[in-house]
Amino acid sequence: MVHIFGFLTGLFGAGIVGAGIVYLASSHQFTKENARHALNWHLSITILAIITIVTFLFGAEELETGTGGTIELITLPAPLDTVVTVVAIVSAFVFIVASFLGLIFPFIATGKAIFGTAWKYPLVPELVSNDE
């Protein structure tokens, strides 16, 4: 259930909070392990989103104000501008794929948990390690 709880709170931008609360509050080892896996997933997605946003902001030369005006930003030198643009595009693509998988993985993890297996999300680093 922790995976679905993390998924539902993640829809409102608080997946870390939902999985984190369960991880900190649970005394049951199996629940805590599932919460740790969900928390690692949500932390990874959040870090990826921050990287994507920051690289897009650094790659932008102007920023719309919403009132019809623009704000001039720092212009990066040509080689660095290209690197930032490539990183922004790649991180945006990875973020889109990860967001799509974020709609599927919680249901897989919940199904595995129902049958007694703590499913580790694929390709997710251990940002929150096992506290044993």
Chain centroid, CA 110 distance in Å? 18
Sign for the pseudo-dihedral over CA of 31, 33, 36, 41:
negative
Residue with tokens 């709880």: 5
Residue ranges of domains in the chain: 2-60+72-114
Q: What one-character DSSP code corresponds to residue 128? A: S
Indicate if the pLDDT at residue 72 is higher than 90.
no
d(CA 74, CA 115) in angstroms, rounded, equals 54
What are the CA-CA distances from residue 29 to residues 24, 25, 118, 132 (Å)?
11, 11, 10, 10
Rg (CA), the chain: 18
Give the pLDDT confidence of 75-120 residue by residue, as tens digits. 777 788 788 888 888 988 998 998 898 888 888 888 898 898 888 8
pLDDT at 93: 93
Indicate if the pLDDT at residue 22 is higher than 80.
yes
> What is this structure's pTM?
0.76
* Confidence bin at 27 (pLDDT 50/70/90): confident
Class of residue 95 by CB neighbours under 10 A (exposed 0-12, middle 13-18, buried 19+)? middle
What are the CA-CA distances from residue 127 to residues 36, 67, 72, 112, 131 (Å)?
9, 40, 37, 22, 12
